[in-house]
């Protein structure tokens, strides 16, 4: 009788799991991918290494994505059909996606075209920041009301990417065309300093201890390192090709860099300030995000329509089929 009961329980739980499996969140969370070629937000199951959904963005182009801290919503700024500093349409809204229903649940509208691009959540203030290039500002949004509540001037055109210190006090923008980094006081809402980098720079990230900011020189194959205490260039790390997206590991030991020429991820040892390993990935690596458990890093590979899942620390790679033109990545925590 007990064997029958156990068998019945096993069958019941198996059926229940099968019935709910298509909508049940992975125990660790979701990986989100902005598929700019498909005009969709991709939702990837990190356990199955599979894109399980693609949410249409109403036929317009979003390059980047951020997830709310509770993992319930994704925010996709609609940039437009141009590249930074190039002619094209000027996006003027942010699409909000409910990750449970996999449908658009809200919209944040600007009064004019601003090319909104890089969204970042600040856990201290609860606000959502987004770069608004054409206004040379960071726009501050209350995610509860979906209302714009303020702006922070960057003092430079083409403020394309943003990173915010973990204490929420400082922001840093990569200003592509001018080749500079703006240092921002996020609470006083003002520009503190503009740091020259090169003729052009791209992407930006900050170390877990907030001591260093990293941006990729677009005129030389190197990562430029900024000391956040002095707000000045501390040094550089040579690469095998022009760098692009960067992400530090959660323990602060390594900086991962997308290097597009040789199609690789460079691993920089931050104690030695040199590349200690390179990992071959499909073309063309763009953005990087490290999973909160520090076990896996993900690299979007634009023209190959794939995401490379890189195991830390053995640096082995699994490939995940994603949408066309996969670009910005974000991690959505499990609810």
Q: Give a three-class secondary structure readout of the chain.
A: CHHHHHHHHHHHHHHHHHHHCCCCCCCCEEEEEEECCCCEEEEEECCCCEEEEEEECCCCCECCCEECCCCCEEEEEECCCCCCCCCCCCCCEEEEEECCCCEEEEEEECCCCCCEEEEEECCCCCCEEEEEHHHCEEEEEECCCCEEEEEEECCCCCEEEEEECCCCCEEEEEECCCCEEEEEECCCCEEEEEEECCCCEEEEEECCCCCEEEEEECCCCEEEEEECCCCEEEEEEECCCCEEEEEECCCCCEEEEEECCCCEEEEEECCCCEEEEEEECCCCEEEEEECCCCCEEEEEECCCCEEEEEECCCCCEEEEECCCCEEEEEEEECC
CA 80-83-204 angle, to 5 degrees, is 105
For 10, residues 6+ apart whose C-beta sits below 8 A from its C-beta are none
pLDDT given for residue 121 in this prediction: 97
Give the mean pLDDT per block of 10 residues along the chain (335 residues). 40 36 58 96 96 92 96 97 94 97 97 98 96 98 98 98 97 98 98 98 98 98 98 98 98 98 98 98 98 97 97 96 96 90
Distance (Å, whole) CA 297 – CA 229: 28
* CB neighbour class for 109 (10 Å; exposed up to 12, middle 13-18, buried from 19): exposed
CATH fold for the domain made of 27-246: Methylamine Dehydrogenase; Chain H (2.130.10)
Distance (Å, whole) CA 272 – CA 229: 20
pLDDT given for residue 59 in this prediction: 78
Distance (Å, whole) CA 232 – CA 195: 7
Q: Could you tell me the pTM of the whole model?
A: 0.91
Under the phi-then-psi rule, with left for phi > 0, alpha for psi from -120 to 50, and beta for the rest, what region is 115?
left
Which two tokens mark 261? 């020429």
pLDDT given for residue 335 in this prediction: 73
């Amino acid at each position: 009788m007990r064997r029958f009961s156990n068998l019945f329980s096993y069958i019941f739980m198996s059926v229940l799991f099968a019935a709910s499996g298509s909508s049940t969140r992975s125990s660790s969370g979701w990986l989100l991918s902005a598929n700019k070629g498909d005009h969709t937000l991709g939702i990837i199951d990190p356990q199955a290494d599979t894109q399980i959904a693609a949410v249409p963005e109403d036929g317009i182009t979003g390059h980047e994505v951020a997830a709310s801290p509770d993992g319930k919503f994704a925010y996709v700024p609609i940039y437009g059909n141009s590249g930074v500093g190039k002619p094209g349409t000027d996006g003027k809204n942010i699409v909000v996606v409910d990750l449970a229903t996999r449908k658009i649940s809200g919209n944040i509208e600007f009064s004019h075209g601003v090319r909104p691009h890089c969204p970042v959540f600040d856990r201290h203030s609860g606000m959502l920041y987004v770069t608004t290039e054409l206004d040379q500002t960071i726009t501050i949004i209350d995610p509860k009301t979906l209302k714009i509540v303020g702006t922070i001037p960057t003092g430079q055109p083409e403020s394309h990417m943003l990173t915010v210190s973990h204490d929420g006090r400082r922001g840093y923008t990569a200003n592509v065309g001018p080749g500079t980094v703006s240092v921002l006081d996020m609470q006083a809402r003002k520009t503190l300093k503009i740091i020259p980098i090169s003729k052009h720079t791209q992407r930006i990230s900050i170390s877990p201890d907030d001591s260093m900011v990293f941006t990729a020189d677009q005129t030389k194959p190197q990562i430029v390192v900024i000391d956040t205490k002095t707000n000045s260039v501390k040094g550089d790390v040579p690469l095998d090709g022009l760098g692009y997206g960067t992400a530090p590991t959660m323990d602060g030991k390594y900086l991962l860099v997308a290097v597009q020429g040789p199609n690789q991820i460079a691993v920089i040892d931050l104690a030695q300030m040199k590349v200690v390993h390179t990992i071959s990935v499909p073309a063309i690596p763009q953005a990087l995000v490290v999973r909160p458990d520090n076990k896996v890093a993900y690299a979007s590979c634009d023209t190959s329509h794939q995401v490379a899942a890189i195991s830390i620390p053995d640096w082995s790679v699994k490939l995940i089929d994603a949408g066309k033109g996969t670009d910005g990545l974000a991690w959505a925590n499990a609810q």
